[in-house]
Amino acid sequence: MRWLAGSDHAGLALKCELIALLREWGDTVEDLGTDSSESVDYPDYGRAVAERVVAEGALGLLVCGTGNGIAMSANKVAQARAALATDAFTARMARMHNDANLIVFGARVVGVGVAGDALKAFRDASFEGGRHQKRVDKMMAIGKTEGS
């Protein structure tokens, strides 16, 4: 599997640990930064990763302090579905029912044990389609001009 990853300064350490896990599992990961502890703005990374995920059909991994800011930023990108996860069940369902293409963690909320399990659950799950497709389609139509 191919991944794009990103974080702000608060998420850097957890992002690096999670990237190492993905590579152990045989996946390819491109890290779009940040790569230092210098303070940066999470929207820059949420946007950059989400745009590449959508354009390339890859999966995305995002981390900030809570996960909220970088998830909200990613979800401003059309066709991005970024899911904030605090456990493996939520992560698995985000993929199976919501067709999430990015998973997001808060480094000040979860450690690498919980986040790693959730990442594995997300990675190994797939979208179920069926009744969930209609709901995802409705979700993605929100905000679009009526009739377009």
Q: Annotated catalytic sites, by residue?
A: 64, 97
Lateral strand order in the sheet of 59-64: 28-31, 2-7, 59-64, 102-106, 82-84
Helices vs strands, H then E, count in the chain:
6, 5
b/e map of 99-117 (b: 16 or more CB within 10 Å)?
A: bbbbbbbbbebbebebbbb
**Number of chain positions touching ligand RB5 (CB under 6 A):** 8
- In contact, 102 and 46? CB cutoff 8 Å: no
Q: Considering the rule CB under 6 A, would residue 46 count as an interface residue with ligand RB5?
A: no
Of these, 6, 18, 42, 94, which contacts ligand RB5 (CB under 6 A)? 42
Stretch that binds ligand RB5, among 23-31, 60-68, 74-82, 88-96 (CB under 6 A): 60-68
Least Å from the CB of residue 148 to ligand RB5: 32
Q: What is the DSSP letter of 129?
A: -
Nearer to ligand RB5, 9 or 123 (CB): 9
2-31: contacts with ligand RB5 (CB under 6 A): 8, 10
64-123: contacts with ligand RB5 (CB under 6 A): 64-66, 68-69
Give the number of C-alpha atoms closer than 13 A to the C-alpha of residue 123, restricted to the C-beta side: 21
- Distance CA(137)–CA(133), nearest Å, equals 6
- Residues at the site binding ligand RB5, with contacts judged by CB under 6 A: 8, 10, 42, 64-66, 68-69
